[in-house]
Amino acid sequence: MAIPVVNLADFLSGDPQLKQQFVQQLGKAYEEVGFVAVKNHGIPDDLIAEMYKQVQQFFSLPIDRKKQYEIPELAGQRGYTSFGREHAKGSEAPDLKEFYQHGQTVPDDDPVKAEYPDNVLIDEVPGFSETFNKAYRAFEKSGKALLQAIALYLGLDEHYFDDHIHNGNSILRAIHYPPILNEPKSSIRAEQHEDINLITLLVGASADGLQILTKQNEWVGVTSLPEQIVVNVGDMLQRLTNNRLRSTTHRVVNPPREFWHTSRFSIPFFLHPKSKMSLACLEGCIDEDHPKAFPDATAGEYLDERLREIGLKK
């Protein structure tokens, strides 16, 4: 399936007509599909290549070395999470993956710094943390621009999200789906799910497998060109917009049997606001035909609830 493609350079061009066109294209795509491919996204190709190279080096380490970077009390929010620990909401079967998570580093005196654990530094891969810090900032910048466009589409002030995501609780996750060695019982690489956050920015993947569930209830494969990133709506934005922008159900399926011996790598950036942001449905998204669908909650409360549902938090 060719998902809608938008050009972020149009939004940043300074041309009011191009900017408005981008806002409408993005909003329409999110209302109708839930996923877009973004070109001219501002994340340098060489940085993406370096990140994938270092991620593959890390996941190729022996399991006992990787487990040194697993800190269970952090509920998978920093460092390494071993194979089979996470499952989709409503599914008992663990996903066939292991992952590493890198979070916010607060450079100023913002008291929110106390909420965030330190990142877990990987000693064996030179430059790993430096690369992830650079990539994190690049994703934040692109995500901020996309949220500005979403704000305009919703009739909000362009900078509605800016303060909420400054020093926000975003996560850069590197995922490894190892080779499949035995007939899987019920799992696929990642069972169908919706993302928790506001938006997710996904840069590349080393193999096919991502599928989205269309409004016609059909699973279709999603591929983006090398110079594009895929960006989808998460549950927090769905709640905030009272279902106007819907979080898209997606999954990662197992490859054909002849490719079971291969790994798959993927690096999504989950853009989260600060924990105190209210996710109460926007007044402009509530009317007689669309009554308020969700109880009020903060982003922190909702994240905590979801981490328990997917098995990362007790």
Distance between CA atoms of residues 243 and 250, nearest Å: 17
Does 90 fall in a domain?
yes
CATH number for the domain spanning 100: value is 2.60.120.330
Domain that holds residue 179: 5-309
**What is the rounded average pLDDT for all residues in the chain?**
89
Instruction: Pick left, alpha or beta for residue 84 (phi over 0 → left; psi -120 to 50 → alpha; otherwise beta).
Output: left
Domains in the chain, number: 1
Does 314 fall in a domain?
no
Could you report the per-residue pLDDT of 275-291, keeping only the tens digit for each?
999 999 999 999 999 99
Does 52 fall in a domain?
yes
Percent of the chain with pLDDT over 90: 63
Could you report the per-residue pLDDT of 173-194, keeping only the tens digit for each?
999 988 877 776 655 666 788 8
The answer to whether 201 and 171 are in contact (CB under 8 A) is: no
The model's confidence at residue 39, banded by pLDDT at 50, 70 and 90, is: very high
Structure tokens at 167: 């020093």
Could you report the per-residue pLDDT of 43-56, keeping only the tens digit for each?
999 999 999 999 99
Does 199 fall in a domain?
yes
The pLDDT of 158-180, averaged and rounded, is 94
Does 47 fall in a domain?
yes
* Cβ-proximal residues to 239 (8 Å cutoff; 6+ apart), any chain: 279, 281, 294, 297, 302
pLDDT the model gives residue 148: 98
Asked if residue 206 has pLDDT above 50, the reply is no
Does 57 fall in a domain?
yes
The pLDDT of 194-205, averaged and rounded, is 88
Could you report the per-residue pLDDT of 127-138, keeping only the tens digit for each?
999 999 999 999
The pLDDT of 32-49, averaged and rounded, is 91
The pLDDT of 26-41, averaged and rounded, is 91
Distance between CA atoms of residues 177 and 105, nearest Å: 27
Instruction: Note the pTM of the prediction, 2 decimals.
Output: 0.91
The pLDDT of 264-274, averaged and rounded, is 94
Regarding predicted confidence, which is higher, 307 or 20? 20
- Chain-centre distance for alpha carbon 108: 25
The answer to whether 196 and 234 are in contact (CB under 8 A) is: yes
Structure tokens at 180: 């499949």
pLDDT the model gives residue 10: 98
Does 215 fall in a domain?
yes
Could you report the per-residue pLDDT of 81-94, keeping only the tens digit for each?
988 766 556 556 66
